[in-house]
Amino acid sequence: MLKKVIIYLFVVVVLVACDSKTIEQKEVSNQKKSNAVVETIMNRRSIRSYKPEQIKPDELDIILECGINAPSARNIQPWSVRVVQSKEVLTKLNSDYVNYTKLQNPEFSNRVPDYDVLFGAPTFVLIAGDTTEMYAQNDCGMLAQNMLLAAESMQIGSCVLGGIIRFINSPQGKEFRDMLLLPDNHRLFIGIVFGYKDENPDAKPRDASKVKKIN
Ligand SMILES: Cc1cc2nc3c(=O)[nH]c(=O)nc-3n(C[C@H](O)[C@H](O)[C@H](O)COP(=O)(O)O)c2cc1C
């Protein structure tokens, strides 16, 4: 009899423990679904194929407004943001970039004959920061992420671009760089293309083991 009671109690304890875990997991996944910010963060992906239509001016304004509402150290806002939407300018930038890359790596054009470093996106936003400000890169990163999430919340695709920025910062990128009229001491840190999505890629895996809770 006692044995039966012990087994019964053991089963009850295990069931209660399992159930509370399920409830916890359910709460987390319900929160993901019902919290617009969490949902936007989890849905954002780098988009590498765009429809040719330009995003609406109001949508661009919201993206820019959200960008500059990012936190920055001592609220210095050490950034310069430039928006380029001219198809002619973007086409020229791409061909300059391709020619430059071909010089560095002659195999490049054979591998990717119609390469478009901007993935056909109609809007290119460039973010530069004041190199004399210690936290400028962090601040610009926060501004960039605000823009990505604002765009995603309106179903607008985006992709952060580092490679093209290296080119624009190089001597060969001077013509384009000069057009941006950046203040002295400001250096380009990051570019982001925006446009309506023409693909819907799956999320890339994330390594949760990089996060540790220290108790
Ligand atoms: C600083 C930085 C530079 C990046 N540069 C490029 C780039 O030059 N070309 C590109 O296709 N993606 C670029 N990406 C996008 C990353 O490849 C992408 O964020 C990463 O693979 C994770 O995928 P996800 O954005 O879809 O979650 C860059 C991202 C960051 C943050």
pTM of the complete model: 0.87
State which ligand 1 atom lies nearest to the alpha carbon of 47.
Answer: 26
The pocket around ligand 1, CB under 6 angstroms, is made up of 45-46, 48, 159-163, 190, 204
Distance 113 CA to ligand 1 centre (A): 22
Atom index in ligand 1 nearest the CA of residue 144 equals: 31
**Mean per-residue pLDDT, 97-111:** 84
Q: What is the DSSP string of 129-186?
A: EETTSTTHHHHHHHHHHHHHHHHHHTTEEEEEESHHHHHHHSGGGHHHHHHT-PPTTE
User: Is pLDDT of 6 > 80?
Assistant: no
> Rounded distance, CA 125 to CA 177, Å?
13
151 vs 48: CA distance, rounded Å: 15
Q: How far is the CA of 163 from the centre of ligand 1 (A)?
A: 10
At residue 202, does pLDDT exceed 90? yes
Q: Which CATH number fits domain 57-196: 3.40.109.10, 3.30.565.10, 1.10.3720.10, 3.50.50.60?
A: 3.40.109.10
Higher pLDDT, 3 or 77: 77
User: 113 in helix, strand or coil?
Assistant: coil
Atom of ligand 1 nearest to the CA of 45: 26
The pair of structure tokens assigned to 209 is 């083991």
Q: Identify whether the C-beta of residue 150 lies closer than 8 Å to the C-beta of residue 62.
A: yes
Mean pLDDT of the chain: 90
Binning pLDDT at 50, 70 and 90, where does residue 18 land? very low
Q: Tokens 């384009």 identify what position?
A: 176
